[in-house]
């Protein structure tokens, strides 16, 4: 059944409905705009936080590299000290052998000197 309401009255009702809905549409638009702005702000805050995290990770990586370099230097120093101690140990063993040999020779000389001629 076709609508029998006259066109001017339909237009007036439509206009009234638009005017009635317009504030709600405006509030919805404002709400969506606000949500967009809040989302953008949150994204900026997250980006800043991620940037701070990346900077902190970079500093940690630098410290780790410095620690590794220091450990490498310590390892070299340890190896040099170990080598020096081994050299000194060999030298002491050689000296001990020489002293032992000299003790034998000195004992022989003392016997010769102490024996009646």
pTM flag (> 0.95): no
User: Residue length, the chain?
Assistant: 117
> Considering only CA atoms, which of 104, 41, 116, 111 is closest in space to residue 33?
41
Which of the 8 DSSP states describes residue 2?
A: -
Q: Phi then psi for 2, rounded to 5 degrees? A: -65, 150
- Of 41-45, 49-53, 91-95, 109-113, the range with the lowest mean pLDDT is 109-113
Answer whether 10's CB lies under 8 Å from 3's CB.
Answer: yes
Q: CB neighbours of 21 closer than 8 A, spacing ≥ 6?
A: none
Q: Tens of pLDDT along 3-60?
A: 677 888 889 999 999 999 999 999 999 999 999 999 999 999 999 999 999 999 999 9
């Amino acid at each position: 059944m076709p609508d029998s309401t006259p066109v001017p009255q339909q237009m007036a009702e439509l206009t009234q409905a638009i005017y009635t809905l317009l504030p709600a549409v405006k509030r919805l638009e404002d709400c969506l705009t606000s949500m967009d702005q809040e989302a953008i702000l949150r994204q900026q805050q997250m980006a800043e936080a991620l940037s701070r995290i990346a900077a902190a990770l970079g500093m940690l990586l630098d410290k780790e590299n410095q620690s590794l370099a220091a450990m490498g230097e310590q390892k070299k120093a340890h190896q040099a000290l170990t080598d020096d101690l081994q050299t000194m140990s060999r030298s002491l063993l050689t000296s001990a052998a020489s002293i032992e040999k000299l003790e034998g020779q000195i004992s022989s000389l003392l016997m010769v000197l102490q024996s009646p001629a």
